[in-house]
Structures are given as C-alpha cells and as structure tokens.
Amino acid sequence: MSKSERVIEREEVVIRFSGDSGDGMQLTGTLFSNTSALFGNDLSTFPDYPAEIRAPQGTVGGVSGFQVHVGHSEVYTPGDYADVLVAMNPAAVKANAKFIREGGTIIIDEDNFTEKNIKKAGYENDPVKEDKLDRYNLISAPITTMVKETLKDHGLDPKTVIRTKNMFALGMVYWLFGRDLEYTEKYLKSKFSKRPQIIEANSTVLRAGYHYAETIEAMTPIYKVSPASIEKGLYRTIDGNTATSWGFLAAAEKAGLGLFIGSYPITPATGILEALAARKDLGVKSFQAEDEIAGICSAIGASFAGNLAVTSTSGPGLALKSEAIGLAVMTELPLVIVEVQRGGPSTGLPTKTEQADLLQSLYGRNGECPVVVIAASTPSNCFKYAFEAARIALEHMVPVILLSDGFLANGSEPWRIPSMDSLPEIKPPLVREGDDEFIAYERDPKTLSRKWAIPGTRGREHRIGGLEKTVKGTVSYIPENHEHMVKMRAEKVARVVTKVPHLETYGDYEGDMLLIGWGGTYGHLLTAVRELRKEGKRISLAHFNYINPLPANTAEVFSGFKKLVVAELNAGQFVKYLRMELEDFKFKQINKIQGLPFTCAEIKEQCIKLLEE
C-alpha cells in the first residue's frame, strides 16, 4: 500500500503523551502543541501530572500525561479520548487505556515492557491481553535500544542518552502527523545554547525517531489535520496562568499604576507568581512571601500605598487568606485575589482540577463580607477576566476574587493577540493633594466607592483599619452606623452589576433545556451542546463568568427554558447559589468530583437523560 492511500484526513485529532514523571512528557506535549499552532491548527491542551515530582518510577501513580487536541476547525476542549497515545512504559498504558479511542494508535517503548515493569504497573498478565490492546493499532518500537544505538558515538553518559528518549517518540509523532521539525530544533538550540553536545544529541534522536516512523510506515496510517481557518490576526499559544498574569500587567498599564504581587508558591497557582516575577522589565514588584497570609497582607499594604495589588493562590491558601480579605472589604481597598482551584478539601488533589472553592470564595469569611467573584472560562480569556477583575477592583474600591482552575491554569490554546488600544480605560478614584477636608469613607453617589488617598499625598492623611467606622473614619460602635455600613458595602458590590455584560446563550433563548455552567468547564459544555443541537435537541448553553453580582438579565434568560440544568465539577455549589439568588426556578444538576474535567460524552449522555425525564 502506498503512503498516500494510508493518509487519514481528519477534522481533529487528540494525542496523549504519557510516561514516568521524569520522562519529559510535559515538554514533549508542549513542543508538539506549539509546532501544531505554528502549522495553523486550532488546539487545546491538558497537562495531567502527579503531585509528586518523582513518584515511584514505573507505577501508575507516577504517570505524567499531556493531552493535546488539534483541529482543522475550532477546538474547545482537549478531547475526551486520545486517537494517539504515546506510552513510554507499561504504567502509562495502564493509566490511559480507558482514554483511548477505539481503533486508535498506541506507540510504546517495547524496551520498557519487561516483566518487572509490567508487574510494577499493576498488570497480572500481558498488558496486550489484559487491556485488549489488540483493539488498537499498536506500534511497538524498541525506543531505548534505538536511542542508545543512535548516540553510541556521541560520548555521552548513559543517563543523558536515555533522557533523549522523549525526542525519539516526538520525532515519530511528527512523522505521523506530517509536521516539520524546525520549531523543535530551534527550541533545543535556544534551550541548550551553552551545551552544543546536548543540542546535537537531542536533534539527532528527534530525526532518528522521525525516520524510524517513516521506515515502518506500513504499520500505521498518517493523520492529516489541515490548518484551521481562524480569524485574521497575530496569534500565540498561551496557558491560563500566563494569560492571567499578563491581564494584570495590561490593567496596571491602563491604570497608570505600579503592579505588585504578593504570593506564596502553591500548585496550581504558582505559575502566576513566576510569570510576574519575570517581568522586572515592566517594573513588576513581585514579593514571595513567607506564607499565604503575608502574601495577601503585603498586597493589601501595596494597595494602601497606591499599587494595583494582586495575590494568587489555590484552595487551602484562600482559606488562610480569608481574614485578610475581610480587612480589604472593611478598609475598602482595591485588591485582586486569584484563586486557581484544585481538588479539595485540605490538601486534596493538588495537581487535579475541580470547581469546589466557589462557596468559599463567595462566603468563606467572618461577618457580612461580600466580594466580587468572577471566573475565567478558557485558558486565553484568563487575560480578559484578570483585566476585568483589576478594573472592577480599582474603579469600585473592592476586593475581587478571580476564579481559575487547574485545567485552565495549565491548559493552553492559540490566542489572537489583542492590541492595548482595544482595552477599556481604567480610572481609579485617586485623590490629589489638597487642604480641604478628606473624608475617608465618603462615597461616590453612583458606584458607592470611596476615594483612594495614598500615603505621600499632602493633606490627605487619614486612618483606616479593620474596626467599624463612621463615614469620617472614626471608630464607631453605634448600632445603626454598623448596619448602615454593612449595607453600603454590600450595595457597593451589587452595583458592580453595571460592569457585568448581559448573559448570552449559545443557541436560542428558548427551548427544552438550558445547560448552565461557569468557569473552566466552558469548552466541554459548549462542545456537548453544539453536538446535541446538531442532533436536533432544543438545548442551549448559558455560561457564567460573573458570579457575584450575577448578570442583570439572568432570570429573564432562565425563564425561556423548560428545564434548567447546572453542570459543575463539584457536588453542586453554583446550583446552591442560584437556588438562593433565584428562588423562583427549579434546577437539575450534573456533577463530577473526580479531579478531572468533564468529557463531552458524559455531558451529552446526562443531558439526554434529563431531557427524557
């Protein structure tokens, strides 16, 4: 059979790279994604890795995976099932067998399928039999042997040689998808610019893998995924944490303020602190605090001093910050708290995604303590919502919690680069120097925000603090004053609704069912609803980015549908909130609490079931 006959033209393909957590699978996946993005595909990625940096080798617990979905048309999710699985050892097969599409391709390093490794992975028998791998197109390649052979004259130590295995696998995959090696070779050159030997070794192995796949051509089909026709413009790939960080930089520039981030490293939010620490060229003041509390408190101090102040964290860290969030609410200072959710409670599943910190964000503080809560819904729109979170915080003098999650934080996709001119202005209510009386808690009649008088401004000296105060800033225990101030602070948050765009649906404004989601599940819910609509179902999607306050037309949108179904990756938190806020409606739920994103298939299946009820 000639090569051309074996080319499979596909709209989209999902590839999963999988191996031990030291096998370099995250890098391999990233390089493939970037190469595909440059080729012009739309894509979505999902890194899935263990919490342990080097979990026991060869065990299922230590498997690190990177899934990428590339498409000729728009791609919204990393895909439910892999068309191609690269498995560097038996554990990688064991961990991923259930995520491979029937008839898909599995590439394994057969050198690693020793009896010992097979046992370690938890197989009793031959994995081919146990997991019925003969259902797939199994490419069993002696990768380790070939890598050793390829580099035998390079004078490298055995450890370094073995480490290039991932490049061999990547080379094979590039051939399989007809991609060129240029991007990867460029990457290797800049990454190891001071170690030419390493560049040479990796490039040689990469090419060896490519040629090997070509040689064994007869065994496998080639996938062809043509470039996507996407909106004109300049693009880059971006992950959620980077997009979040850059959104804050954009907001600081628009507002003409310095940017301060005070944070403590915590998975999966650390990337934000890292990305901003790298931006000294843009004047970012990044402060790695001694703990979560110091992270937010330093940010509150920086906000008092007139910076756009940000702190980033994940679930347990948000719990530690809760008292300080109350202080920011009470002192009415602008502040953005980024909460990159992960599986909880307690330490929970640090590297897995979940949406279970919504109620903590809304209510997890002492006293009457409302804050604005907004949620990003794709890796790239983390930029937009970080910008909006900062804009709301600065213009309304409120703390804002920006929700992201592990799936958005580490996932990446192509992003059409916006121009700074296209972003709205940000005008914080800063007070200039002067001798007229400054009233610390005097409110703007429209937004109810107080003015921001920063230390160093002559004539504007004043005192703020966590104690209840009168409008003038005098400590007060007067009962009526407390009730008044509590209501003012709540009303101030409620009035942020003027900045909240109306809720739109994907689909129609009436029908049998409205699927309701929020945050990082957008891609999966959208894909499921799109497919259901193609199948003739009268279903639409309403996806929320603004949680508190809710869009003003929420009830109106809900009232157009016979059934309302809230899908979320928790035991039902947004649905509880909606039941409180919109008590006239009845809601059904779809919930998943496995530390994993939804699959489109399970959403569809449950929607159909609920439609038939």
Partner 1 sequence: MTEEIVDYNPNDFRSDQEVRWCPGCGDHAILAAVTRALAELKIPKEKFAFISGIGCSSRFPYYLSTFGFHSIHGRASAIATGVKVANPDLNVWQITGDGDAMAIGGNHFIHAIRRNIDINIILFNNEIYGLTKGQYSPTSMRGAVTKTSPYGTIEEPFSPGELVIGAKGKFFARTIDSNVQLSTEVYKQAALHDGTSVVEVLQNCVIFNDGVHKQLSDRETREDNTIILINGEPMIFGKNRDKGLKLDGLKLKVVKLGNGISEKDILVHDCEENNPGIHTMLANMRYPGYPVALGVIRCVSAPTYDMAVKGQITKVQKDRKIKNVNDLLRSGSTWESK
Binding partner 1 by CB under 8 A: which of 249, 374, 375, 514?
Answer: 249
Coil vs helix vs strand at 213:
helix
Coil vs helix vs strand at 562:
strand
Residues 6+ apart with CB under 8 A from 192: 198, 199, 202
Tell me whether residue 143 or residue 302 sits nearer to partner 1 (CB atom): 302
Binding partner 1 by CB under 8 A: which of 460, 489, 524, 543?
Answer: 460
Tell me whether residue 204 or residue 298 sits nearer to partner 1 (CB atom): 298
Nearest approach, Cβ of residue 27 and partner 1 (Å): 15
Q: Helix axis angle, 182-191 relative to 165-176, nearest 10°?
A: 160
Binding partner 1 by CB under 8 A: which of 46, 113, 168, 246?
Answer: 246
Nearest approach, Cβ of residue 84 and partner 1 (Å): 23
Tell me whether residue 257 or residue 567 sits nearer to partner 1 (CB atom): 257
Nearest approach, Cβ of residue 263 and partner 1 (Å): 12
Binding partner 1 by CB under 8 A: which of 50, 90, 127, 306?
Answer: 306
Nearest approach, Cβ of residue 380 and partner 1 (Å): 11
Binding partner 1 by CB under 8 A: which of 420, 425, 536, 580?
Answer: 420
Binding partner 1 by CB under 8 A: which of 22, 103, 178, 233?
Answer: 233
Q: Which helix (H) or strand (E) holds 338?
A: strand 335-341
Nearest approach, Cβ of residue 109 and partner 1 (Å): 29
Count Cα neighbours of 448 within 13 Å in the Cβ-side half-sphere. Answer: 17
Residue 399 vs residues 93, 263, 386: alpha-carbon distances, Å: 46, 16, 13
Tell me whether residue 181 or residue 294 sits nearer to partner 1 (CB atom): 294
Of the candidate spans 107-115, 370-378, 448-456, 549-557, the one that interacts with partner 1 by CB under 8 A turns out to be 448-456
Region 8-67 residues binding partner 1, contact defined as CB under 8 A: 34, 37-38, 40
What strands, in cross-sheet order, belong to the sheet with 12-20?
Answer: 42-48, 63-71, 12-20, 82-87, 100-109, 137-141
446, with CB counted inside 10 A (0-12, 13-18, 19+), is exposed
Q: Does 459 bind partner 1 (CB under 8 A)?
A: yes
Region 533-592 residues binding partner 1, contact defined as CB under 8 A: none
Binding partner 1 by CB under 8 A: which of 82, 198, 199, 250?
Answer: 250
Tell me whether residue 203 or residue 263 sits nearer to partner 1 (CB atom): 263
Tell me whether residue 281 or residue 613 sits nearer to partner 1 (CB atom): 281
Beta-ladder partners of 403: 339, 375
**What is the bridge-based pairing of β-strands 505-506 and 539-544?**
antiparallel
Tell me whether residue 420 or residue 580 sits nearer to partner 1 (CB atom): 420
DSSP 65-100: EEEEEEESS---SS-SSEEEEEESSHHHHHHHGGGE
Region 175-214 residues binding partner 1, contact defined as CB under 8 A: 183
Nearest approach, Cβ of residue 438 and partner 1 (Å): 11
Give φ, ψ of 378 to 5 degrees: -140, 160
Say which residue the tokens 């200039």 belong to: 432
Nearest approach, Cβ of residue 407 and partner 1 (Å): 23
Nearest approach, Cβ of residue 458 and partner 1 (Å): 5
Q: Does 466 bind partner 1 (CB under 8 A)?
A: yes
Q: Which helix (H) or strand (E) holds 191?
A: helix 182-191
**Strands, DSSP E only, in 348-460?**
372-375, 399-405, 412-416
CA distance 21 to 55: 7
Binding partner 1 by CB under 8 A: which of 160, 457, 470, 481?
Answer: 457
Nearest approach, Cβ of residue 290 and partner 1 (Å): 4
Tell me whether residue 4 or residue 366 sits nearer to partner 1 (CB atom): 366
Residue 44 vs residues 186, 340, 415, 518, 596: alpha-carbon distances, Å: 23, 19, 11, 18, 15
Residues 6+ apart with CB under 8 A from 136: 100, 102, 103, 104, 105, 106
CA distance 224 to 409: 29
Region 276-305 residues binding partner 1, contact defined as CB under 8 A: 279-283, 285, 287, 289-291, 293-294, 297-305
DSSP 474-494: -B---HHHHHHHHHHHHHHHH
Of the candidate spans 17-25, 80-88, 254-262, 559-567, the one that interacts with partner 1 by CB under 8 A turns out to be 254-262
Binding mask 472-511 for partner 1 (x = CB under 8 A): --xx------------------------------------
Tell me whether residue 196 or residue 233 sits nearer to partner 1 (CB atom): 233
Q: Does 163 bind partner 1 (CB under 8 A)?
A: no
Binding partner 1 by CB under 8 A: which of 31, 327, 398, 513?
Answer: 327
CA 130 to chain centre: 35
Binding partner 1 by CB under 8 A: which of 19, 24, 50, 262?
Answer: 262
Binding partner 1 by CB under 8 A: which of 101, 207, 443, 462?
Answer: 462
Binding partner 1 by CB under 8 A: which of 102, 153, 461, 480?
Answer: 461
**What is the bridge-based pairing of β-strands 372-375 and 546-548?**
antiparallel
Contact 444, 389 (CB under 8 A): no
With contacts defined by CB under 8 A, how many residues of the chain interact with partner 1?
71
Binding partner 1 by CB under 8 A: which of 158, 456, 479, 536?
Answer: 456
Tell me whether residue 295 or residue 517 sits nearer to partner 1 (CB atom): 295
Count Cα neighbours of 336 within 13 Å in the Cβ-side half-sphere. Answer: 34
Region 349-388 residues binding partner 1, contact defined as CB under 8 A: none
Q: Indicate left, alpha or beta for 223 from its phi (over 0: left) and psi (-120 to 50: alpha).
A: beta
